[in-house]
Structure 1
């Protein structure tokens, strides 16, 4: 039996690399697998040899103990790989294809999938619409921070790279197509970014940096990125963004006015989510901070893209309301300013082919923007700790040493 090492969540702050067994085309029982999904046959699926798989900020929420993720959950929803086995019902994807895997799992058959709302597929998660690999309460599909992984609904979901050699040359960019590039782009599109827009992006983590680069691709005149960590802000400046440090200068409106001459922007993007911090030195966690601040600085009639993750259950929150995902949001302000809010998972398949073309043509430089940094599978636990400390890197796991 071929070994299959993977990154496994054990307890808050602890991930380990373990052998989870070689996958097959059945969703078997295991940590986090919904009982109604156990034994689900996936002859419409494939087995991938994972070429790259990335650590995501969403994974960190689980690893910090801020969700109800069970011990033993195999992590990882950002997957790029080579097809090594195809199911009986797979018609168009072939062995040897190099493919990007959308992080949201989608059947292609339900009403939502047919409307391109693949982030809320009705058939893959018995609890509620929407699913993802290696994520709590998402149906239990096994994560892809591993050497091999099973991917269902292959013909519908997988994005095949047209030229394998060309793709391998740009693999650090193309690995971002499974999640953060489409997620950042969705945040910018949802915020209504267009030629000439002024844009504020809250958060200079990988998704925030991807959103900032996406806003540039969409024609924004000025992109301002806010964060509490100077190293991350320096990364944003490295590809032409303006920045505001909300630890040393907590008044966001004043800082925006210093840059633009007015204390507001056309569009704003929340790339932080529910573990947001208050502004200022020594400020504690305040989960509604980003949502309230972007309402404050976005012009009347503007749009707010919210790809930052918010959850219905946060056992690590400081008060009962926040533990249930109930936040003290100034919704009256948003109403008064006639804001449009767009939330939820990103429908990756709506964007990934176009973004692939932007990468292959050299138009998009997403790996540079997010500072893609390659590590081995064995280095993943250390990568999680470093990422949790706020380092300005996007860790790309290379399970088979192919990139090194």
Structure 2
């Protein structure tokens, strides 16, 4: 039996794949504990053993300024989120290591504190790449920005008296919860192991299944963290889908403010189950939603909002499994036209089916657990 400490940020999409991996490890007889900002880490993991590392309220997604794009968004992400998050989490991760005595630290790619503490204590550490954004070296063509990121990391290493390499990439093992069919070729695979999505069961959500009327179902959702920001876009989705009588539109509006006689509008859905009954999904490009959709072999329309979502949208479009829209500019006619294209051109569904096959072949949580068990420690 081995002891695995999972270090995570307070972000749903980053915790979700590790929940499934944790369950697999526990099922194999290993001991698993979590560490992250509270109370969000406990809420997201629904686990019995969670060590606190920082205050989640200080790092809630809702506190990010709206409308940041390009370098401004990257600058905010690193200077105001990732680096302060690492500094805030290190003391808690230290205490967790002292109390739990892990054999391996499994750290999310945005939870640098896991890499810092593990390196300082000469513990094996593994990177959980819940999104493929960093794997393709997106800053490779921007050396000045790459050097700026390196400088921020060097500051972290100096403050915490660590002399390791890039905090985003374990030299021993990087679990990538995707496949090359979606990301495209990676120049330097190194320690990366593509295991495909690790889809964990979601908490039960009530849903009136009898409201689905048998027409091809198109789901529009912007995830859990974009309620206020997404109201305009979701309203356009309602208008777009209302003008498509041959499909049934389902719009997930967490605010409960949108109303429609032609489109089914709900606050929440059991997403994985509903997606399996859909014909296409319209979303923001969150990694979990993209993975769930492609795991069902469905085409996507993606309107990216922030962070890695633009790159994921580009990957989906390059793979031929969907199309992208401008989140801040798309109107109902644009949405209707794009949804119609992915539904009527069989090439999109065929490409989504190819990605689905690659996901199935990659092994998912079983493969991830196998790789973790093979680590020397």
Q: Same fold (TM over 0.5)?
A: no
TM-score relative to the length of structure 1: 0.31
Work out which structure has the larger RCO, using CA pairs closer than 8 Å and 6 or more positions apart in sequence.
Answer: 1
Which structure is higher in helix share?
Answer: 2
> Higher strand share goes to which structure?
1
